[in-house]
């Protein structure tokens, strides 16, 4: 007589156990895991925006042709953590007169320099050769002439590229007087310049309406 042996059921492999356990997770635990992922992503994005990058929309024509109205750009908040701004850098900073509004202009004068605007050209420290500015959208008008700036220590002289319409270091002292921030032009001179610690970041690229990396600008 032939005896049929009973087959023993194999125990599930450890991988099978894990799979079965995963499938049996309550729906609320699954939902909670997604909530944690989304929350972490939001916190990370907020930290990057606050401490690493600045996202900005261009409101005026003062930096044409480089930046036009409604262009969107990213700036790096860490650019000047270990180095100083350089001439021609395009920088976002707090408007010296109110200390709140964010402006974007180009670095023209460095700390300790004497900057003269004459015949629609810029001269540094009495040089007979003007600095090169091939980014200007059009020739200056005569009203831009006759300025002499002595840039203080740890401060920078900022000008817009579209000089015929840009409100920049040439007008800020008068703006401070007009806004009642300073009693006279002599007292208002300090609002002409941007301290390094008021610089928010250097423009690094434009992402709308088309991508453009700011390298040699």
For the chain, how many structural domains are there in total?
A: 1
Share of the chain above pLDDT 90, in %: 65
Torsion angle in degrees (nearest 10) through CA of 209, 210, 214, 217: -80
pLDDT of 10: 56
Question: What CA–CA distance (Å, rounded) separates 92 from 18?
Answer: 53
Across 81-99, average pLDDT: 95
Phi then psi dihedrals of residue 51, to 5 deg: -115, -15
112 pLDDT higher than 70: yes
What average pLDDT does the chain have? 86
Within a domain: 173: yes
Sheet holding 147-150, edge to edge: 121-124, 114-118, 147-150
pLDDT over 70 at 87, yes or no = yes
pLDDT over threshold 90, residue 42: no
Residue 181 lies in domain: 84-198
Which residues pair with residue 147 across a beta bridge?
A: 117
The answer to whether residues 62 and 166 touch, using CB atoms and an 8 Å cutoff, is yes
At a CB cut-off of 8 Å and minimum separation 6, what does 119 contact? 145
Least confident of 40-49, 143-152, 160-169: 40-49
* 182 domain-assigned: yes
In a domain, 2, yes or no: no
Task: Between 3 and 179, name the one with better pLDDT.
Answer: 179
Across 147-160, b (16+ Cβ under 10 Å) vs e yields eebebeeebbbbbb
CATH of the domain at 122: 2.10.109
pLDDT of residue 32: 75
Ramachandran sector of residue 88 (left: φ over 0; alpha: ψ -120 to 50; beta: rest) = left
Q: Does 207 fall in a domain?
A: no
**Is 149 part of a structural domain of the chain?**
yes
Tens digit of pLDDT for each residue in 135-146? Answer: 999 888 867 788
Domain-embedded: residue 38: no
Distance set, CA 85 to CA 36, 60, 91, 128 (Å): 40, 23, 9, 24
- Categorize the per-residue pLDDT at 44 as very low, low, confident or very high, splitting at 50, 70 and 90: low
Asked whether the predicted pLDDT for residue 217 surpasses 50, the reply is: no
208 falls in which pLDDT band (50, 70, 90)?
Answer: very high
- Domain assignment present for residue 51? The answer is no
Residues 113-142: tens digit of each pLDDT: 999 999 889 999 999 999 999 999 988 886
As to burial, measured by CB atoms within 10 angstroms (0-12 exposed, 13-18 middle, 19+ buried), residue 78 is: exposed
Q: Of 98, 106, 102, 119, which Cα lies nearest the Cα of 62?
A: 106
Q: Would residue 8 count as lying in a domain?
A: no
- pLDDT beyond 70 at 47: no
Q: Tell the burial category of 4 from Cβ atoms under 10 Å away from its Cβ (0-12, 13-18, 19+).
A: exposed
């Amino acid at each position: 007589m032939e005896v049929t042996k009973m087959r023993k059921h194999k125990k599930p492999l450890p991988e099978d156990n894990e799979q079965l356990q995963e499938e049996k997770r309550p729906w609320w635990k699954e939902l909670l895991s997604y909530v944690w992922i989304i929350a972490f992503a939001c916190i990370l994005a907020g930290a990057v925006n606050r401490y690493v990058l600045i996202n900005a929309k261009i409101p005026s024509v003062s930096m044409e042709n480089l930046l036009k109205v409604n262009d969107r750009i990213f700036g790096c908040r860490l650019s000047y953590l270990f180095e100083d701004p350089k001439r021609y850098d395009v920088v976002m900073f707090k408007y010296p007169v109110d200390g709140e509004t964010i402006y974007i202009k180009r670095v023209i004068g460095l700390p300790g320099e004497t900057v003269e605007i004459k015949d629609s050209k810029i001269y540094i420290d009495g040089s007979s050769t003007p600095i090169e500015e091939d980014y200007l959208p059009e020739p200056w008008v005569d009203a831009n002439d006759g300025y002499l700036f002595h840039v203080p220590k740890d401060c920078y002289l900022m000008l817009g590229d579209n000089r015929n319409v840009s409100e920049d270091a040439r007008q800020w002292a008068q703006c401070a007087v007009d806004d009642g921030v300073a009693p006279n032009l002599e007292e208002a001179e300090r609002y002409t310049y941007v301290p390094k610690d008021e610089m928010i970041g250097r423009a690094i690229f434009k992402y709308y309406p088309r991508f453009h990396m700011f390298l040699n600008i």
